[in-house]
Structure 1
Amino acid sequence: MRRDGKTTSLWQDQIPDYESDNQALKSGKIYDVLVVGGGITGITTALLLQKSGKNCIVAEANSIGFGTTGGTTAHLNTMLDTDYHTLISNFDEKSAQMVAGITREAIEMIRQLANSYQANCEFKELPGYLFAQDEEQAKYIDKIVEASRKAGISIEYTNQIPINVSFQKALVFDKQAQFHPTRYLYALANAFEKAGGTLLQDCKVTNIEEGDIIQVPTSQGTIQARQVVYATHIPPGVNLLHFRCAPYRSYVLAVTLNNEAQYPDALVYDMQDPYHYYRTQDIDGKRYLIVGGEDHKTAHMENTETCFRNLESHVRQYFDVDQIAFRWSSQYFETTDGLPYIGHLPGASDNIYVATGFSGNGMTLGTVAAIVLNELLTTGQSPYKDLFAPGRVKPVAGFTSFVKEQADVIKEFASKWFSQSDLGELADLAHDEARVVEYEGTSIAMYKDEYGRIHAVNPTCPHAKCAVAWNSTEKSWDCPCHGSRFSCDGELLTGPARSNLEKINIDELEEADGE
């Protein structure tokens, strides 16, 4: 199964790309809704809309599950990365209650859809544990308990946690869950097609022409639709939301253990910065411990292999590891105030919608987005419309974070773009090494693969002209400003960029140098 990087996740191993039954784009047909993106947000949204009577088409640039849905750790939470103390502080108590309610609804919907469509995704409801390891964390846990109870979360202190890690204080919250995300996604995609929906894979949206009937040029022809939903993780092009969302990467290990008793039958989280998260997954009779962490802003870590080494060291400190079976990384976007953006796309016409900014809770909040978007596109209203509105303006909540993110963007423009090194370094590239070099006044992003072949591209991201940085783990060029990612040959992997990096012919450069 293809994905947006060189590593293979547990969810993609031995699973082929999805085979669609309804891939034909009908010329001249006007669809009610075009959903751009084939992850959990896009497929769930399309299925709900199709069941509501809309005639829907999904356009996925690669294969469904290619991006974050194929790289998640598949925790399903009412206790989100943005805790309820922060939500009440940034918003109010009623908003926190609404978030708790809609996340519970989303988890229950996943359970119902998995059962209805026989997803074989091993959905399992479990308790969640959060533990503090120092005095400061312990004090903050008290704030989380108080705020969570105000939001309506069932939460209690506990003297035990299901992993062998020392702690000062811990709490347990019920009715969390987990599942196998790609099996679930495939079942929903199949149900969408059987309901009459059209699913196009390898269908790249290249532009959009607004109007009552939206014209959408794609790599497979022009799609016409009355409404468009961007379920692309972050909307393509240049938009206000790119300055309200910051891209991050997270790292994951799936390991087997020598001691069967060490597999936790729960979802577990520490309070480190960045935090670690743990759970168990059974797949076809084989058991894995999944551990994630080491998060950092995209392209802000010079050697991403260090993240995996640190994570492996952490796992081996507390667990009797038999084998590192899988390792992978994935991307998510943080919003400035802690809640996702779901609804009308700012700056676009009224019939264009977006869902983005799910932090590390993409499976839950992607489903929340599908619920809200289905309401908005079928009735024009939703009780969550204002809460998740992408155009919301809060001059206090998240303002400091917003300024920090913009300072990082300015920093990248000012320093990274003009980085230089001598041309002689080109010859010094080791196999599987990458570097940005300067050649006759032109910056070139170069990678020498394991066979000694040179791959070279212009390092300027076409989205907002930032300079990309090499991701040694996923073998990709990543943009530190807004999270666009490209293969070693410059092929676009994830937006918001719409086009590839410019490819450079090294042979021509070398011949010119010899002359």
Structure 2
Amino acid sequence: MKLVAGNMLWTNINKIPNQYNYLNESITCDVLVIGGGISGAIAAYYLTKSGVNTVLVDKNIIGYGSTSGSTSILQYEIDTDLHGLISMIGEKKGVKSFELCKEAVYDIEKIINDLEDDCDFSLTECFYYATKASMVSSLKKEFDARKKHGFHVEFLDKKDAQKRFSFPVEGGIYSKFGAAQIDPYRFTHALIAKAVKNKLKVYENTEITNIYPKEEHVLLETKNHFNIQAKKVIIATGYEGRKYIKEKIVHLLRTFTLVTKPVKNFNGWFHQCIIRDNNDPYTYLRITGDKRIIIGGEDEKVGGINSKMSNLSNDDLVSNKKYELLLNRLKSYFPEIKDIAPEYQFSGLFGVTKDGLPYIGEYKDFPNCYFSLGYGANGILYSILGGQLLRDSILGKDRPELELFRFNR
């Protein structure tokens, strides 16, 4: 399956800041992190900051998997609306899930202050809106649920929205807090660079082919026939992590992203906030630090691993049609922005779970192994939660929040 395809934004505008050797000997460690994307980098950062002897491996090079295709929209909002999540898992758990995501946004801000790169991080505001009048009542119900539980939200009716945005809005929820955006590739490398200073060992081009969990440790084999013996293992391999799980825990989609050249103004775009509609599939927009517009959506179900959508090339007619739709939609949203021109176009696999929450924690068939699988639109925030919760578990401090994200929930 093609995790990503196309002309990637982050790996084109950034040089590779650090390269790492491949593993060429057998080693031991306290914790092995498998996966050199943003999830693995966050886990390694938290572990090494706590003094844990940690090794990180990736079968390719750092940050060139799903991380390179992330739009890195950071929002406390979960794909499943709060009122819907409450009906699925109860009020206490639903509200806690939203609160944890909000806290994770500001935890990233704290991490940035500890790194040598600001990673183009910025706090921002966000707007979640309805395109159809028939969907406004559901959005008002969502607004009421968020307001009741202390989230700082404002409801905009059609008239209010016209004063702020140049595209049609029937109603929407405006949030002034709990959102941010970042360059995920720079963030991944900056996290690992900091962790290396805290004695992390990193090996690129080092593929794990076999995992043998045992009572006292985990034995792993690499493609080059070296062994790694670890007391604990964190599997942070994103969508490839599915292969270790017997149950079907995620449905995969392919989402499409278009990035413009830098634009001169943002007329019709209130406070340059993050924007998302409540259609299915939904369209999402953000702005980069160098004033590019990112628009994404047009999701398609992937099907089997050998399906066309699983292995879609970027020059396929389907891909071209999706990018054309996104470009035309963007221009229709902001007719006063005259210099909209596409520069990067790419697609990537995207997973959804039944409740919109990630899978974090132990799995019954893998003793001494933990999973940090941040499936859903809040992948980076879920990785922050995974890094914190798994660090605490490894240090012998299991936290009750793990119950929200456990397997077989």
Q: What TM-score, normalized to structure 1?
A: 0.70
Q: Measure, in 2, the Cα distance between the counterparts of 1:257 and 1:270.
A: 23
- Do 1:4 and 1:66's aligned partners in 2 also have CA atoms closer than 8 Å? no
Specify the alignment match of 2:245 in structure 1: 239
Separation of aligned partners in 1, 2:42 and 2:374: 17
* Structure 1 residue matching 2:134: 3-state secondary structure: helix
Unpaired runs of 5+ residues, structure 2, are: 313-317
Q: Is the 8 A contact 1:93 1:150 kept in 2?
A: no
What is the match of residue 287 of structure 2? 280
* Amino acid in structure 1 at the alignment position of 2:320: E
Match of 1:205 in 2: 208
SS where residue 326 of structure 2 aligns?
A: helix
CA RMSD, 1 decimal: 2.1
Amino acid at match of 2:55: I
After TM superposition, the structure 1 = structure 2 runs for residues 226-375 of structure 1, keeping only pairs within 5 Å, are 226-234=231-239, 235=241, 237-241=243-247, 243-256=248-261, 260-262=265-267, 265-283=272-290, 287-298=291-302, 299=307, 303-319=318-334, 320-349=338-367, 351-375=368-392
Query: What amino acid is aligned across from residue 98 of structure 1 in structure 2?
Result: K
- SS of the equivalent of 1:206 reads strand
Structure 2 vs 1, CA of residues 24 and 324 (structure 1 numbering), >3 Å: closer, same or farther? closer
> Closer, same or farther in 2 for the Cα pair 1:199/1:163, shift >3 Å?
farther
Give, in whole Å, the separation in 2 of the partners of 1:14 and 1:369.
28
Go from structure 1 to structure 2 and tell me whether the alpha carbon gap of 1:219 and 1:300 turns closer, same or farther (over 3 Å shift): closer
Aligned to 1:164: 166
Please state whether the residue corresponding to 1:13 is helix, strand or coil: helix
Number of residue pairs matched? 384
Percent same amino acid among aligned pairs?
Answer: 26
Structure 1 match to 2:6: 7
CA distance in 1, matches of 2:252, 2:357: 15
Q: Structure 1: how far apart are the matches of 2:15 and 2:264?
A: 32
3-state SS of 2:376 partner: coil
Higher relative contact order structure (alpha carbons within 8 Å, sequence separation ≥ 6)? 2
CA spacing shift, 1:151–1:192, aligned 2, 3 Å: same
User: Which amino acid is the alignment partner of residue 168 of structure 2?
Assistant: S
Provide the rounded CA distance (Å) in 2 between the counterparts of 1:89 and 1:99: 13
Residues 114 and 120 in structure 1, CA contact (< 8 A), matched pair in contact too: yes
Output one character per residue of 1:333-369: Cα deviation in whole Å (capped at 9) or x when no partner. Answer: 11122211100023222x1111225212212212121
User: Any idea what the Cα deviations from partners look like across 1:289-308, whole Å, max 9, x if unmatched?
Assistant: 11111012125758333222
Call closer, same or farther: CA 1:255–1:381 in 2, change over 3 Å. Answer: same
Residues 18, 59 of structure 1: CA spacing in aligned structure 2 closer, same or farther, 3 A cutoff?
A: farther
Structure with greater proportional helix content:
2
1:118, distance to aligned residue in structure 2 (A): 2.4
Letter in 2 for 1:376: S
2:222 alignment partner in structure 1: 218
Q: Deviations over 1:224-269 (max 9, x none)?
A: 101111100131535224x121111111111137661336521111
State how far apart, in whole Å, the 1-side matches of 2:132 and 2:22 are.
58
Cα pair 2:5 2:347 within 8 Å, conserved = no
Secondary structure, in 3 states, of the residue corresponding to 1:250?
Answer: strand
Please report how far the alpha carbon of residue 125 of structure 1 lies from its aligned counterpart in structure 2 after TM superposition: 0.9
Please report how far the alpha carbon of residue 65 of structure 1 lies from its aligned counterpart in structure 2 after TM superposition.
1.2
Structure 1's unaligned 5+ residue stretches are: 393-515
Against the structure 1 CA distance between its residues 377 and 238, is the aligned structure 2 distance closer, same or farther, given a 3 Å change threshold? closer
